[in-house]
Structure 1
Amino acid sequence: MAITIVTDKAQLQAQFSRLQTLSRSKPILDWKVRETQLDNLEAMLSDNQDALAKAISEDFGHRSVSETQFAELFPSFTGITHAKKHGKAWMKTRRASISALYLPAHNEIQPQPLGVVGIMVPWNYPLYLAIGPMIDALTAGNRVMIKMSEAAPQFAHAFAKAIAHYFSADMVCVVIGEVDMAEAFSKLPFDHLLYTGSTEVGKKVMAAAAPNLTPVTLELGGKSPVIVLEDAHLESAVNRIMMGKTLNAGQTCIAPDYVLIPRHSHVRFISLAKAWLQQHYPNIANNPDYSHIINDQQFERVQGYLQELPADSIHPLTDIVANAETRLLTPVIVTEPDADSKLMQNEIFAPILPLIHYETVDDAIDFVNERPRPLALYVFGNNEQQIEQVLARTVSGGVCINEVIVHVAQHDLPFGGVGHSGMGAYHGKAGFERLSHLKPVFVQSKLNGMNLLLPPYGDLFKKGMALLLK
């Protein structure tokens, strides 16, 4: 029997086996079926958006409903709209070029569903990072199993209940459970496994998938740098950087992690950041727009980063102090932290922003390149030559110029990491192709010259090869 909500390992194996069998016997080739699944997803979101936002807030202690609408619901709805507009064209067989030597034969590429796609969802944006991969998987004609994060249990149950109401268990099911269930999930022989989360857990997921040769897309994190050029409009840069650092209280995989900036701009940056915070988050202790840290473990981790730093390097942006009971962590700037400090060795994932000086643009580029390749890189400034220099000499998952974060919501851009920040990209057409098998097909013509290449290899063959191998 199909199971819409999986809660134990026996159900997990049984549901996977059922979906795998269905994917082989009844592949989803018709666009109307795929479009219906996207319609169901859209209806589920529309009808349950308030309940889902409330569940997320309960998991965080307080998570801004407005942030959930802006950062999770909005890109989910636009992603569905984009897929419904373009999916039928993406799935069509398309001609590929062919060497003149093989004419009049022709080449084709046929996108096919992979079968069963596994999605492992993190806690920081549990709605969008479930829906985004689902959109790509369903548009590509796959059946889907989704493992929700054990760190966001209220949302996991609300989401599972909503999915069960709108989807057949033969199409989509949700898996709920602790770390042992996540481990069992990652060991299933999916046709593709997409994981979003930390780099360290990503390594474990990849290792678990390896015995089955399951292809993986890993959307990891890391330290996404900001380079503020000498000619940058500092007020504008601070406005965008602080937006990115305070969104979800910094618990965003592509949040600005640290800022490389000329030393003489430090004092003004801090002053502008204080004014920005007062303008956008007045009375931050009771501000409904400001989110809290997800759990005690994460709160204590970040507080530990600050405790090992010299006091004179820490610059609070508000007089309100952090509250361990409510997990309110107020934004601070740290100037010139030691490169070996935990703050600079780990992804911060909190509203703490290091400022690090550089002398030349080459120095800033070298600083970035001496570290693992980031998921995102941000450049503020107007000097086109220096911007191109940064783009050409650094490698990152994605880039924004004079902006942060919003590249993740561009459905015509692939989103993904590189190196320690991940592998593979999805969203839009890139996601459709990532979760499809692009089957190459060579179609021979009735009239062709292939018989000329059969043995015994005589003079005609040898003369032909002599021409081809020149």
Structure 2
Amino acid sequence: MQPRIVESCSKLTELNPSLHISNLLASQKTAYRKNPLPTYQERIHQLKQLKQALLEFKEPLIEAINQDFSVRSRDETLLAEFMPTIESINYAIKHLKQWMKPSKRKVGLLFMPASNKVHFQPVGVVGIIVPWNYPIFLALGPLVGALSAGNRAMIKMSEFTPNLNKVLTKLLASIYKLDKVAIIEGDAPTAIAFTEQAFDHLLFTGSTSVGRHVMAAAAKNLTPVTLELGGKSPAIISQDAPMVEACERLCFGKSLNSGQTCVAPDYILLPKGCEQEFIQTYQQVFTKMYPSIKDNDDYSAIINEAQHQRLNSWLDEAKEQGAILHEINPKNEDLSSGRKMAPVIVEDANAESTLMQDEIFGPIMPIISYQNIDEALDYVNDRARPLALYYFGYNKQEREHVLQHSHAGGVCVNDTLVHLAQEDMPFGGIGDSGMGQYHGYEGFLTFSKAKAVHTKGHFNSAKFAYAPYKSPIHKLIYKFFIR
């Protein structure tokens, strides 16, 4: 697709987003009907094209997202966007042939001779709604699953990443026609129009509050949804956990992208009496990783001024209500200009404060003490089920107790975030943190219809069950099968 066509599509979206999106969807559905079951070779070719284009556009993508954030660590973009996306493509290429094979199932004795197989058929056109925090990975990760399953896709990008959107649009247009993969840009009205379309599956990544609206809109078309939401993901530090080790791993998970990560540790539960040890150790660990903040390209900025103001207003509210704020600013730099934000550990936060009620999504970390592990679990279980739960400790009995008495989309033991990068495990939330799952094989299944196919030959044993029913053979069948 030529740049002028991309530009005209963008203008059409602005003028009448609903009509433009509807036309694109109709085009993709028509194309799907002409090729409803892409071959293994076609799918592999599409995945290899995507990988090659991603590598070719690496530098422009990194620079574009850096512009959108004002400062976005190059290494964080490589680690958290490029690496998992490329890994997902490689994993799909390696396993796709096996995934596509029909699954043989057993046939009941009464129905023999026959065969049962489950065929995995593309659902059709998949809608993907992408947030601003990891726009490359959260656009292309689901796309890998959709393409692996043989679908077409329309991707709604966030209006907060305009520079990245332009480059990603150019990347995809260089390898796919619009009736295969299309990108939609626009603000809230465009997003609403997008969710109201009759997609064959809709995947949304974003906040729980917006997720409710997405699900309500999809319900009007009975569109199946996968919701990857967020919530307040807790980290529990056990009595026996080495504090330096726990702080290092927590600091990595909370500092990556300045905490703007759906599975970032939201708050810390630690044994009563360990508060000051944790604060001091965390400060030391952060200072070692980030000796400075203001001009440190390793430390990312907050995405925009609205988010920056939101985080500061939550801190102000917490402080007014009696919380103690421990800012970590190794060089005591003036951060009043720009959108860099120093990490803040919050002690004694009011349970009713916004900070303790809503997902933080930034470099702020409340700490809460507990007397015993069941008190910590009660605190977690009294609240909405989180997307991630983190446990630090080497007591196997306590670890199993935590796993058995808590609910979360995923759990990471003695680390943070990295469970998300395991391609051979499903990723997804539960309750307020989402529904459905994808990544790897689960992504293939999510974007496929598992179609049951029962096949018979000329001989039909089931005819013995035909009417008239009051016959000796029916009595025998009931005696044998109803017991």
Q: Where on the TM-score scale, by shorter chain, does this alignment land: which range?
A: over 0.9
Asked whether 1:185 is paired with 2:185, we answer no
Name 1:313's counterpart in structure 2: 324
Aligned with 1:202 (options 206, 211, 216): 211
Name 2:378's counterpart in structure 1: 366
Name 1:381's counterpart in structure 2: 393
Q: State the Cα distance separating 1:273 from its structure 2 match.
A: 0.8
Is contact 1:116–1:142 with CA below 8 Å preserved after alignment?
A: yes
Is contact 2:132–2:158 with CA below 8 Å preserved after alignment?
A: yes
Counterparts of 1:53 and 1:324 in 2: how far apart (Å)? Answer: 26
CA offsets 1:100-140 (integer angstroms, 9 cap, x no match): 33333221010011110010000000000001000000000
Asked whether 1:462 is paired with 2:475, we answer yes
Change (3 A) 1:359 1:187: same
Corresponding residue SS for 2:318: coil
Q: Percent identity?
A: 44
Asked whether 1:398 is paired with 2:407, we answer no
Asked whether 1:63 is paired with 2:72, we answer yes
What are the equivalent positions in structure 2 for 1:24-423 lying under 5 Å apart? Answer: 24-310=33-319, 313-318=324-329, 320=332, 323-423=335-435
Change (3 A) 1:312 1:146: closer
Q: State the Cα distance separating 1:345 from its structure 2 match.
A: 0.3
Is contact 2:110–2:462 with CA below 8 Å preserved after alignment?
A: no
Amino acid at match of 2:172: I
Structure 2 gaps of 5+ residues are none
Is contact 1:119–1:147 with CA below 8 Å preserved after alignment?
A: yes
Is contact 2:130–2:156 with CA below 8 Å preserved after alignment?
A: yes
Corresponding residue SS for 1:425: coil
Corresponding residue SS for 1:291: coil
Counterparts of 2:107 and 2:259 in 1: how far apart (Å)? Answer: 50
Counterparts of 2:85 and 2:66 in 1: how far apart (Å)? Answer: 18
Amino acid at match of 1:171: K
Amino acid at match of 1:268: E
Q: State the Cα distance separating 1:321 from its structure 2 match.
A: 5.7
Q: State the Cα distance separating 1:156 from its structure 2 match.
A: 1.0
Counterparts of 1:276 and 1:376 in 2: how far apart (Å)? Answer: 23
Change (3 A) 1:468 1:329: same
Corresponding residue SS for 1:304: helix
Corresponding residue SS for 1:221: coil
Is contact 2:32–2:124 with CA below 8 Å preserved after alignment?
A: yes
Counterparts of 1:392 and 1:101 in 2: how far apart (Å)? Answer: 41
Q: State the Cα distance separating 1:99 from its structure 2 match.
A: 2.7
Counterparts of 2:155 and 2:436 in 1: how far apart (Å)? Answer: 19
Counterparts of 1:92 and 1:239 in 2: how far apart (Å)? Answer: 44
Q: State the Cα distance separating 1:43 from its structure 2 match.
A: 1.2
After superposing the two structures, state which structure 1 stretch, 31-40 or 419-428, moved more: 31-40
Is contact 2:293–2:340 with CA below 8 Å preserved after alignment?
A: no
Q: State the Cα distance separating 1:4 from its structure 2 match.
A: 5.8
Is contact 1:334–1:352 with CA below 8 Å preserved after alignment?
A: yes
After superposing the two structures, state which structure 1 stretch, 368-377 or 327-336, moved more: 327-336
Counterparts of 2:219 and 2:280 in 1: how far apart (Å)? Answer: 50
Corresponding residue SS for 1:426: coil
Counterparts of 2:156 and 2:28 in 1: how far apart (Å)? Answer: 15
CA offsets 1:182-240 (integer angstroms, 9 cap, x no match): 11111110000000000111111111111110000000000000011111111110000
Counterparts of 1:59 and 1:38 in 2: how far apart (Å)? Answer: 27
Amino acid at match of 1:363: E
Is contact 2:269–2:376 with CA below 8 Å preserved after alignment?
A: yes
* Count of aligned pairs: 470
Counterparts of 1:324 and 1:127 in 2: how far apart (Å)? Answer: 29
After superposing the two structures, state which structure 1 stretch, 125-134 or 97-106, moved more: 97-106
Corresponding residue SS for 1:11: helix
Change (3 A) 1:151 1:309: same
What are the equivalent positions in structure 2 for 1:445-460 lying under 5 Å apart? Answer: 445-457=457-469, 458-460=471-473
After superposing the two structures, state which structure 1 stretch, 124-133 or 86-95, moved more: 86-95
Is contact 1:299–1:324 with CA below 8 Å preserved after alignment?
A: no
Superposition RMSD in Å: 1.5
Amino acid at match of 1:137: A
Change (3 A) 1:131 1:30: same
Corresponding residue SS for 2:273: helix
Counterparts of 2:313 and 2:400 in 1: how far apart (Å)? Answer: 38
Corresponding residue SS for 1:129: helix
Counterparts of 2:155 and 2:204 in 1: how far apart (Å)? Answer: 10
Counterparts of 2:270 and 2:211 in 1: how far apart (Å)? Answer: 31
Change (3 A) 1:25 1:282: same
Q: State the Cα distance separating 1:445 from its structure 2 match.
A: 4.0
What is the TM-score of this pair, normalised by structure 1? 0.97
Counterparts of 2:109 and 2:391 in 1: how far apart (Å)? Answer: 46
Counterparts of 2:333 and 2:208 in 1: how far apart (Å)? Answer: 31
Is contact 1:322–1:329 with CA below 8 Å preserved after alignment?
A: no
